[in-house]
């Protein structure tokens, strides 16, 4: 009796602390670049026989499958920029894919293999970003020091050149939209500054709407790049070296409207912006000065003010800012030289330190946003997932902050998570070649820490046996191929064998339901 109670207690503790469920296991590539489309999660992953390709999932093992092997064989067909640089037009997902004929073309998909089609055939890997504006997808094609503006309606015949012969230096630093107009920013040839351009899809309607202006250091591409673009209504806002700009996509209504952080004196390493109610909050971080500031711009009265200024005695890492009730959550300095999760009350702008995330963050020799910035994910109205910046071993910690309890707990299962998505109020992420789900209300036992059962022989040519402790009852066993297709389903499990003799040789995922509430995943091999 004591043994049974101990086992049940162990299961409860593991389920409570890890609260993770294995959705799908890959044999070589960790899932990443998650986006939501058609009520599914789309992402890039794969196995040895496919390479990194486009997959989708409804959050279940049975609902996880390969969309299409774009580059047949072991080569990667999915480009790593799916998360930030895809677009949706006319209920189709557009993205950049690679196949045996090109290093990168525009593709579109409706989520099915037959509906995944290549749109262009001439880009040859020279386009990385696509933007949906109105009824078109816009993209920029650079050849040496010349930039071209293109648009497509999603068909080969509807892909046309809009404007040619724009002299450019370095790379395009922004592509977005405003007021049904395509907006883009680049560095003119032989210039140290940037200009913002617009296009309505015609040659005459494609022109610069700013003079040459300089950035604050936090934009992509160095100090010439502008930063903190945010669309609000029919306006687009962005930040230069020391000014906030506003545009409606026309030349006459593009102007500097306020002063912000003065980067002439102190360059910025990282910046972000968030809209809350009728205010825009601009966050600036200067690594060399251990300094962080948040500026507020009121969209109604047009006033600008500094609402938070923080200085660390030592280096600390920044994060994005997210809204939590009537507060902003972000990472900043604490009184002991470390980095804490901070909360700023938007009524009076008072600061509360919620949890120390790092007692001494290592100062990077070169600051990279992908490594040196923490990310806060709002999961639901109460829970937030936080990934820290990397430490000296290039590892990062994962935290769950509970707003009601005012607690933040380091969850070992969430350490070293590099990409995640919040889907239907649950956290999904890739780690160690596995697609995982995390939620506080999960009753799934971590298979790495508590082996409820064993599957043998494995590999097998005919049957696999499932051996479990007498305390547990197996209710069902399902077998899925590596494309997520259900190939065997035993819903009323009455013996300890699963027949796999009719399955083709290969690797399969078996999902076993135990005691009506626990799910355990095992990888099996049919030989």
**Per-domain residue ranges for the chain?**
126-264, 266-410, 454-526
Whether 264 contacts 311, CB under 8 Å = no
Residue 330, both tokens: 């972000």
Sign of the Cα torsion 9, 13, 14, 20 reads positive
**266-410: what CATH class?**
mainly beta
Distance of alpha carbon 369 from alpha carbon 285, whole angstroms:
11
Among all chains, which residue has been given the structure tokens 């890039």?
44
DSSP letter, residue 458: S
Q: What 3-state class would DSSP assign to 227?
A: strand
Give the integer Cα–Cα distance in Å for 447 and 455: 13
Please, is 405 exposed, middle or buried when counting C-beta atoms within 10 Å of its C-beta (0-12, 13-18, 19+)? exposed
Burial class (CB in 10 A: 0-12, 13-18, 19+), 105: buried
Q: What is the pLDDT of residue 514?
A: 72
pLDDT (0 to 100) of residue 519: 63
pTM: 0.83
- Residue 482, pLDDT score: 67
Q: Each residue's pLDDT tens digit in the chain (527 positions)?
A: 333 433 333 333 333 445 789 999 998 899 999 999 999 999 999 988 888 999 999 999 999 999 999 999 888 998 777 877 899 999 999 999 999 999 999 999 999 999 999 999 999 999 999 999 999 999 999 999 999 999 999 999 999 999 999 999 999 999 999 999 999 999 999 999 999 999 999 999 999 999 999 999 999 988 999 999 999 999 999 999 999 999 999 999 999 999 999 998 899 999 999 999 999 999 999 999 999 999 999 999 999 999 999 999 999 999 999 999 999 999 999 999 999 999 999 999 999 999 999 999 999 999 999 999 999 999 998 999 999 999 999 999 999 999 888 888 999 999 999 999 999 999 999 999 999 999 765 443 443 344 457 888 888 888 888 887 656 677 778 887 766 677 887 755 566 788 888 898 888 878 777 765 556 777 788 88
How many residues in total does the chain contain?
A: 527
Residue 488 half-sphere exposure toward CB, CA atoms < 13 A: 22
Per-residue pLDDT at 492: 54
Single out the residue of 174, 162, 157 nearest to residue 84, CA to CA. 174
Is-contact 512 522, C-beta < 8 A?
Answer: yes
Q: What is the pLDDT of residue 377?
A: 97
Full DSSP string of 249-291? SSSTT-EEEEE---TTTS--SEEEEEEETTEEEEEEEETTTTE
Distance separating alpha carbons of residues 377 and 411, to the nearest angstrom: 15
- Fold equal for 126-264 and 266-410: no
Superfamily of domain 126-264: Prolyl oligopeptidase, N-terminal domain (2.130.10.120)
Helix (H, G, I), strand (E, B) or coil at 219: coil
pLDDT of 450 reads 43
Q: Which stretch of DSSP H or E encloses residue 12?
A: helix 2-18
DSSP 478: E
Q: Give the pair of three-digit tokens for residue 104.
A: 């990168």
The class of domain 454-526 in CATH terms is mainly beta
Contacts by residues 28-33 (CB-CB < 8 Å, ≥ 24 positions apart): 28/433, 29/433, 30/430, 30/431, 30/432, 30/433, 30/434, 31/55, 31/419, 31/429, 31/430, 31/434, 31/435, 32/80, 32/83, 32/418, 32/419, 32/430, 33/78, 33/80, 33/81, 33/82, 33/83, 33/419
């Amino acid at each position: 009796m004591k043994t049974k109670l101990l086992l049940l207690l162990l299961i409860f503790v593991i389920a409570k602390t890890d609260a993770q469920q294995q959705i799908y296991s890959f044999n070589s590539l960790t899932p990443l670049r998650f986006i939501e489309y058609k009520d599914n999660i789309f992402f890039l992953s794969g196995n040895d026989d496919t390479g990194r390709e486009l997959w989708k999932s409804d959050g279940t093992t049975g609902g996880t499958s390969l969309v299409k092997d774009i580059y047949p064989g072991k080569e990667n067909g999915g480009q790593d920029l799916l998360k930030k640089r895809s677009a949706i037009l006319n209920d189709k997902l557009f993205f950049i894919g690679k196949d045996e004929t090109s290093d990168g073309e525009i593709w579109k998909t409706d989520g099915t293999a037959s509906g995944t089609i290549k749109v262009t055939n001439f880009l040859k890997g020279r386009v990385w970003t696509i933007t949906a504006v109105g009824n078109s997808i816009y993209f920029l094609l650079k050849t040496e020091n010349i930039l071209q503006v293109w648009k497509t309606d999603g068909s080969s015949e509807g892909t046309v050149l809009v404007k040619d012969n724009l002299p450019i230096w370095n790379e395009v630093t922004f592509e977005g939209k405003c007021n049904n107009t395509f907006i883009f920013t680049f560095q003119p040839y032989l210039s140290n500054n940037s200009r913002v351009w617009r296009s309505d899809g015609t040659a005459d309607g494609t022109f610069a709407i700013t003079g040459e202006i300089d950035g604050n250091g936090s934009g992509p591409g160095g100090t010439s790049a502008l930063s903190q673009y945010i669309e609000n209504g029919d306006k687009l806002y962005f930040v230069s070296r020391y000014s906030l700009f506003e545009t409606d996509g026309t030349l006459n209504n593009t102007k500097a409207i306020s002063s912000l952080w003065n980067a002439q004196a102190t360059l910025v390493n990282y910046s972000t912006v968030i809209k809350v109610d009728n205010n825009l909050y601009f966050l600036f971080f200067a690594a060399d000065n251990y300094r962080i500031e948040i500026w507020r711009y009121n969209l109604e009265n047009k006033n600008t003010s500094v609402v938070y200024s923080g200085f660390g005695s030592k280096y600390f890492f920044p994060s994005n800012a997210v809204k939590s009730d009537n507060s902003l959550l972000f990472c900043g300095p604490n009184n002991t030289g470390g980095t804490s999760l901070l909360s700023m009350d938007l009524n009076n702008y008072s600061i509360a330190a919620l949890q120390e995330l790092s007692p001494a963050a290592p100062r990077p020799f070169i600051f990279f946003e992908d490594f040196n910035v923490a990310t806060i994910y709002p999961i639901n109205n109460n829970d937030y997932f936080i990934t820290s910046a990397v430490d000296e071993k290039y590892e990062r910690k994962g935290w769950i902050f509970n707003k009601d309890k005012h607690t933040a707990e380091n969850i070992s299962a969430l350490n070293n998570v590099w990409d995640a998505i919040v889907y239907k109020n649950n956290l999904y992420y890739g780690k160690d070649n596995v697609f995982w789900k995390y939620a506080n209300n999960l009753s799934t036992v971590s298979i790495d820490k508590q082996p409820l059962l064993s599957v043998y022989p494995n590999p097998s040519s005919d049957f696999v046996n499932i051996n479990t402790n007498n305390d547990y009852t197996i209710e069902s066993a399902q077998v899925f191929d590596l494309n997520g297709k259900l190939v065997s389903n035993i819903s009323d499990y009455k013996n300890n064998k699963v027949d796999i003799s009719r399955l083709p040789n290969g690797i399969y995922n078996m999902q076993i339901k135990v005691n009506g509430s626990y799910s355990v995943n095992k990888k099996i091999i049919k030989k």
